[in-house]
Amino acid sequence: MLIVGLNGSPNENGNTKFLLNTVMEQASTLGAKTRILEAGELLSSAKHAFCKACSNPCSGACYKGTKLEEAFETLKKADAIVLGTPVYFGTVSAQIKAFFDKTRKLRVEKAFYNKVGAGVTVAASKYGGQETTMKALHDIMLVHGMIVVADGFGQDDCGHHGVCSQRPAQNDEFAIKRARILAKRLVEVCGWRK
């Protein structure tokens, strides 16, 4: 079982990465292989960081032979993908949005269809747009036909929309607990699909 996190923060070692690491560490203890990809770094390897819709349908020419193409291959192999983003103006970061704008070819291929997906978000304040941002992550996953799960698990509770934190995430005990529960749910649902 492979669970891949996608860090959509421009800060590769910040609050979003902390939450993704928490999910991945728990999933690893449950037997999953894990990996985290950095959206910003991957986008910078493409010919253009932002989709220009240069062909329709998308040919993937702008990222052919790049780290971004390698990341797409990794994501195709994943059983689950955890999207992580800070909250920017009540929604996802430019990095996570640009990353998924580049997945038009993958959508046509149905590369993420029925793949398990979940999200983690972090904002500066307690009610800083985490849930609207989580909904945007859910929309991205649903457009790809993914199976969206939240941070609930049978032995714990039904959960909410996903892991929502206030920075600094390492001090948000509730979010840390939810990240660990999310990992259990991901492993459970991925196991059902095997």
Nearest to 164 by CA among 64, 19, 30: 19
Q: Please give the average per-residue pLDDT across 38-50, as a whole number.
A: 93
Place of tokens 């269809």: 113
Confidence of residue 117 (pLDDT cuts 50, 70, 90): very high
Which tens digits make up the pLDDT trace of 64-97? 999 999 999 999 999 999 999 999 999 999 999 9
* Region for 155 from its dihedrals, namely left if φ exceeds 0, alpha if ψ lies in -120 to 50, beta otherwise: alpha
Which tens digits make up the pLDDT trace of 152-161? 998 999 999 9
pLDDT at 194: 66
pLDDT at 52: 84
Task: Copy the structure tokens of residue 164.
Answer: 């929502």
pLDDT at 67: 96
* Region for 159 from its dihedrals, namely left if φ exceeds 0, alpha if ψ lies in -120 to 50, beta otherwise: left
Q: Cα–Cα distance between 121 and 127 in angstroms, integer?
A: 12
Confidence of residue 39 (pLDDT cuts 50, 70, 90): very high
Nearest to 134 by CA among 69, 84, 72, 74: 84
pLDDT at 48: 86
172 pLDDT more than 80: yes
SS3 labels along the chain? CEEEEEECCCCCCCHHHHHHHHHHHHHHHCCCEEEEEEHHHHHHCCCCCCCCCCCCCCCCHHHCCCHHHHHHHHHHHCCEEEEEEECECCECCHHHHHHHHCCHHHHHHCCCCCCEEEEEEEECCCCCCHHHHHHHHHHHHHHCCCEECCCCECCCECCCCCEEEECCHHHCHHHHHHHHHHHHHHHHHHHHHC
Strand 163-166 and strand 80-86: the pairing is unpaired
Confidence of residue 130 (pLDDT cuts 50, 70, 90): very high
Task: Copy the structure tokens of residue 138.
Answer: 């859910």
| Percent of the chain scoring above 90 in pLDDT | 86
Predicted structure pTM score = 0.96
113 pLDDT more than 70: yes
Where do the domains of the chain lie, and which CATH numbers do they carry? Answer: 2-193 (3.40.50.360)
Task: Copy the structure tokens of residue 83.
Answer: 């999207």
Q: Please give the average per-residue pLDDT across 97-116, as a whole number.
A: 96
